[in-house]
Structure 1
Amino acid sequence: MILGVPWWVFMLIMFIFLSGYMAFRAMRAERRLEQQYIEQEGMVYIDRMEQERHEKHRQRQHMS
């Protein structure tokens, strides 16, 4: 007993804090992965828009 409290109570409290910390880390990593996915999809969209712009420009030059 430590300070009149059984040792397993301190271990339980330590595991609760450890679990919270691990959940926080997982949440942060998931947010980072989600942000990378969003940026990647944004780049795909921008590239597609650039290709369409070039294609329209090429068609206009071909018609003139």
Structure 2
Amino acid sequence: MILGVPWWVFMMILFIFLSGLMAFRAMRAEQRLEEQFIEQEGRIYIDRMEEERREKQNRKQRLPQ
């Protein structure tokens, strides 16, 4: 007993704290992965829009005036 409290109570508090810490780290890691995925998809979308814009400009240049 430490300060009139059984040792296993302190261990449970420690485990609860560590569990919360690990959950927080996992949440942050997942958030980073999600941001990377969103950035990647956004880049793909922007590249596609730029390609369509180039094709549209090429079509305008090829049309007889």
TM-score in terms of structure 1 length: 0.98
Stretches of structure 1 that go unaligned for 5 or more consecutive residues are: none
Give me the whole-angstrom Cα distance separating, in 1, the residues matched to 2:17 and 2:51.
51
Residue 60 of structure 1 aligns with an amino acid whose one-letter code is K
Give the share of equivalent positions with the same residue, in percent.
73
For 2:8 and 2:51, locate their aligned partners in 1 and report how far apart those are by CA, in whole Å: 64
Q: 2:4: which partner in 1?
A: 4
> Residues 14-38 of structure 1: CA distance to partner in whole angstroms, max 9, x if unpaired?
0000000000000000000000000
Superposed displacement of residue 4, structure 1: 0.5
Tell me the number of residue pairs that the alignment of Structure 1 and Structure 2 aligns: 64
- Residue in structure 1 matched with residue 50 of structure 2 by the alignment: 50
Question: 1: distance between equivalents of 2:53 and 2:12?
Answer: 61
Q: Under a length normalisation based on structure 2, what TM-score does the superposition of the two structures give?
A: 0.96
Give the Cα separation in 1 of the matches to 2:18 and 2:51: 50
Structure 2 gap segments, 5+ residues each: none
Over the aligned positions, Cα root-mean-square deviation in angstroms equals: 0.5
Distance 2:17 2:45 in 1: 42
Q: Shift in Å at residue 7 of structure 1?
A: 0.4
